[in-house]
Each structure stands twice: as C-alpha cells, then as structure tokens.
Amino acid sequence: MIKTGIPKLDEFLDGGIPKGKSLVYYMQPGVEGEVFGMQTIYSALKDGGNCVLVASSTIPDITRGQFKEFGWDINQFNNKFISVDAYNPLIGAPSKEKYIVSNPDNIEEFSRIIVDIIKQLPPSTIVFGSLSTIMDLCGERKVIEAVRIWNKMAMLYDHVMVYNFTAWPYSQETLDLMKGELFNAVISIGGIVERVIFGQYFEILKSDWTKEIKRSMLFRVLRPGGIKLYIPKILVTGPFDSGKSTFVHALSTRAISVDRLGTTIALDHGHVDYKGFSADIFGTPGQERFDPIIRLLSGESMGVFLVIDSTNPSDFTRAKQMLKITMSYGLPYVIIANKQDLDGALTPEEVREQFDLPEDVPIIPAVAKDKIGVYEAFEVLIDSVTGGI
C-alpha cells in the first residue's frame, strides 16, 4: 500500500493505494490538478518507495523544479526516483534520462518502454505526468488499449499505477472509460464553475477496494505546501426578519449570532457537516444599512441562500435588491421560501412568479424554525456549486 499524500484522500481510500492497483486523477481543464500526481510521488518516496515519473508534456528537469516550488526535496531520493523522458524527443532536444521514448507519438514504442520498466524494476509507483498528452499524440483508442495492458501487467508485478488525465472534450466513449472501468480508482478534480472557476474540489468517483464513499473536499494549492483542504463559506441573506438567523441555527451543528433586541446587527456564524461536505455558514443582517457586510462576505463565499418570508411579498423588492448584490459576484444561489407553516404563505411557484425568476432557479419551501427543508436546500446548493464536471 502506498499513500497518496493528499490530506483526507488516504483516509477515504482506507489507507492509500494497494499494490497492483491503478488510480486516475481525472481533471477538469483549467483546474490545477497535476500537483496530485506529484504529491503522490513525493509521498511514496518519503515512505521509502521507488518511483517512476513519465514526463510527456515538459522537460523532466522542469518537473524537478516544480517539486522544489512545493518544498519537496526529491534529490535526496535520487537512486529511487527515475524519469522517463517522452518530451525532449518531441521537440528534437537531447535527453540525459535513462529511459527515453524517442518517438512519443508511437504507442508501440511507448508501450514497449513502459512494459520494460514494469518488468525490470522492483515494485514501484509509476506516475504519468499527463496521460492526455499521450492520448493527443497517439490517439484515444490506442492509448486506452495500452493502458489496459499496463494496468494488467502492473497487477502481476505489484506496481501502483497513477495517471494524471485532463478531461478535454474527447469522445464520450473515451471519457466514460476513463471515469469507469479502466482504473481501479477514479478521483475527479473539478472546479466550481460559475462563468469562471473559483474554487477547486476533489471527489472519489470510484474505488474498488473500499466501501462506497461519496465525499468531496475543497482544496487550494500552496507553494510551498501542495494540496491543502479548506472549508468554504456560504452566505445566508434576505430581508429583515425573514428567518436567516433561524435558518443558520437550524442547519448548523454549532452556531452563534450577534443580535440585539432580536435582530442581527453583525452576523450569524454556523458550521455544517452534512453528507461528506463541510462549510462555514454566515448569516447577514437584513437591514439596508448593513449592505456593505453583504458585499464583504460575498467576495469570499461560494454560494448564497436567500431567505424570504413567504407571507410577506411587500419585502420582495428588498429581497431582489439583496440578490442583485450577491449575483454581481457570480455566485450560485438558492431561494428559501420560509415560514411555509403560516397562513397566507405563498407557494414556491407563486414566489417564482412574483419574483419573476427563471425556471432553473431553485426555490425550496421551508419552515426554518422546525428545520423543515433546510437540509434539502443545502444539498441543492452544494449540487449546483459542484456540478461542474
């Protein structure tokens, strides 16, 4: 078993990747994911293992420099770390590596060298810096067939196979195989996309040696430091007295509010852990004079709950105004039609009409004081936040 070195991931994988297994880091284009393969190499080396890096999109020396940027000194493992150079020949430059693929666009030659390595070396962690580059050069089908063989051989010779793969718009068939049967484990690395990517997460799509687990974690990439998890912020806003503080407390495992005479004057703060996702929740005050606080919090949040009192349509103009502020930050949002227990509460559909909201904006009916609808709303928001892949 080798450890991936990625925080939490080893825990989810019951300790790491067993010998003989393959794992792919399946990356959405534009998301910083190549560090996953590198962090796994460093982790395996640190634990005394042997590692091979197949470099196909840059000079092996540059990759060594990148390790250094993360603060990972790999020189100390010199005799245990081998690079396969499948880049220099591509640009017609000389190579000083022991293993060289002289025609990186020839899958037969590529495969011969990988198979040699699999047969000759003691059990190692073999990491492909960019499988998509190999696919670009050799064609989708041929590379898929080669990967099948490599994975099978690796199983016989007790190696661990790790691939970085950028999910460019290849054929659906290829992408399905990459996410499906080709590997023992698939870790998808995605971005929260709302016009631009503004948060990154990883998620276990598949792992055939652990119990079914569906968890996603948000991360940042630090230099030095590598992958670090972080807890995102979610904003709860809405007009005066609509039930924001009640909503924050209903959703949170723990929460505090800064209130005076029953109205919030600074903010509510709660923390929620639900279905493998954790977040910090911030409730804003409802009164207009506190709008700067909404702006301040919006800049750092990744999603918004807009809580409205369904019995009080006269406040909807104000609610719209608040929504506009947060929308200008491009955040995904969910509308909470609160106080559904009271007489005269408008249904979600009536709210949609009065608000003039498009069909695809989720409106969740809720009774915050009885915790009804709050978890459902959380799930809907998380889905729209992480629905990028």
Partner 1 sequence: MSDYILGIKELDNAIGGIKKGSNIMLIGPPMSGKEVILYYIMYQGVKNDNAIITVTTRESATHILEWFKEHELDMPLSRVGMVDCVTKTFVGTVVESENIKIASSPVDLTGIGVKISQFLEEYFMKKNIRKVQLHINSLSTILMYSNIQTVFRFLHVFTGRIKAMGAMGIYVIESGMHDEQAIATLKQLLDGVIEIKSEDDKNFIRIVGLSTKPTPWFEYEIEGANVRIVGRK
Ligand X SMILES: Nc1nc2c(ncn2[C@@H]2O[C@H](COP(=O)(O)OP(=O)(O)OP(=O)(O)O)[C@@H](O)[C@H]2O)c(=O)[nH]1
Among 2, 6, 23, 27, binds partner 1 (CB under 8 A): 27
62 contact, one of Mg ion, partner 1, ligand X, none, CB 5-8 Å limit per kind: partner 1
Residues making up the chain, counted from first to last: 389
Longest distance between any two alpha carbons in the chain, whole Å: 79
Name the residue nearer to ligand X (CB basis): 184 or 246: 246
Cβ 282 vs Cβ 267: under 8 Å: yes
Closer to partner 1 by CB, 33 or 285: give it.
33
Whether 279 contacts 271, CB under 8 Å: yes
For residue 362, how far is the Cα from the chain centroid? 23
Q: Which is nearer to partner 1, 115 or 175 (CB)?
A: 175
Stretch that binds ligand X, among 2-10, 17-25, 239-247, 298-306 (CB under 6 A): 239-247
Residue 326 lies near ligand X (rule: CB under 6 A):
no
Q: Is 63 in the site for partner 1 (CB under 8 A)?
A: yes
Window contacting partner 1 (CB under 8 A); options: 5-13, 85-93, 241-249, 282-290: 85-93
Residue 264 found at the interface with ligand X (CB under 6 A) = yes
Burial 341-369 (b: 16+ CB within 10 A, else e): eeeebbebeebbeebebeeeebbbbbbbe
Nearer to partner 1, 24 or 31 (CB): 31
By a kind-dependent CB cut-off of 5 to 8 A, residue 341 interacts, out of Mg ion, partner 1, ligand X, none, with ligand X
Q: Which of partner 1, Mg ion, ligand X, none does 92 bind, CB closer than 5 to 8 A by kind?
A: none
Beta carbon of residue 386, minimum distance to ligand X (angstroms, whole number): 27
- Binding-residue total with ligand X (CB under 6 A): 19
Q: Establish if 197 lies at the interface with partner 1 (CB under 8 A).
A: yes
Least distance between ligand X and beta carbon 366 (Å): 6
List own/partner pairs for 289-294 with CB under 8 A and 24 or more apart: 290/265, 291/322, 291/325, 293/266, 293/267, 294/235, 294/237, 294/322, 294/325, 294/326
Q: Which of 183, 49, 45 is nearest to 124 (CA)?
A: 49
Quick one: residue 272, left, alpha or beta (phi over 0 = left, psi -120 to 50 = alpha)?
A: beta
CA 299 – CA 302 distance, rounded (Å): 9
* DSSP reduced 3-state for 386: helix
Pick the stretch among 12-20, 277-285, 322-330, 345-353 that binds partner 1 (CB under 8 A).
Answer: 322-330
Task: Map residues 281-300 to x or -, x wherever contact with partner 1 holds by CB under 8 A.
Answer: ------------------x-
Residue 360 CB, shortest distance to ligand X, in Å, is 25
Residue 347, phi then psi, degrees to nearest 5: -75, 160
On whether the CB atoms of residues 125 and 117 are closer than 8 A, the answer is no
For residue 299, the SS3 value is coil
For the segment 131-150, give every residue that binds partner 1 (CB under 8 A). Answer: 132-133, 136-137
Question: Which residue is at the shortest CB distance from ligand X?
Answer: 286
Residues that bind ligand X (CB under 6 A): 238, 240-246, 263-264, 285-286, 338-339, 341-342, 367-369
